[in-house]
Structure 1
């Protein structure tokens, strides 16, 4: 996933041009929404649920629009910037996120978990016990470690792009990711992590 070239990558390469042009023609900024809103919404929904994702996605693009004059136009792909704004907004809801994760860890079910499976058939291969253990591990992570882990697991960003999104060095991304993965691997114990379809990157080797 990280560093891959997909059908939308070519369009991302001219995000900077769209942002630059939108300074004179604000309506052009809507193209950035068309390209990236679905991905941002998916990421936020997995963390906070669909209702919160609707609001945070809208706020992400409103914040981006207001800050577009400060965008670094040497970065052709704006997706890391947008994920960074979204992650910051999610961070303001961290108590709600942790509360939902702890509920899931206790009961094995929580409405936020519905956002973790984009296909209902995934539930047939999701181990409930593993999901509860993972939720507990996520709740116990520091906010910074959780941001890095979930951006790597649930976005199409490589390490450099995660660093750009969070305004931290790449080395910090790696150290936070390695620490978070160790905790998650320990949390799943003897449960095969491959059963948890939505968390493959979390338990992978660093």
Structure 2
């Protein structure tokens, strides 16, 4: 069984997290059955951007990266205090450990800023929230990232994306890295994407 850690910062967007829970849940029951997703956060209870409350299955302090095969991180809103957790050293250390182990890391929208802050994107290609009124791409560039004007960027083992609408595509890309394209097509078909 391949285990995926869904790392949640307080203030994360529920929809960006739910794409991972659904895609990997569908794979567990209807796909090849080889994946299990575990949620983790810095606190025993997390509040999403729009006040939805979530209880993660484990705390960051209890994570053993060796037990996991991949990392997924949804973005969130500054107004909901997302960056307090997303830039917390304990949160960033989890990212670094997955990267040092060469394991796939997938982020949606502004979660790329956590990757940038951790240092793993320095000199690498990536993207983040791309609305013309947003400062997020400039912020990502400040971390030494080669910011790309693309919907989704895959560089080595890291997936970054440009906005919340990319969520399902990012989750399916991560599933493909962990299983196969044929399996992803089967899960997409069952979920009504084909």
TM-score (norm 2): 0.32
Q: Max radius of gyration: which structure?
A: 1
From the two aligned structures, give the one with the greater strand fraction.
Answer: 2
From the two aligned structures, give the one with the greater helix fraction.
Answer: 1
TM-score (norm 1): 0.30
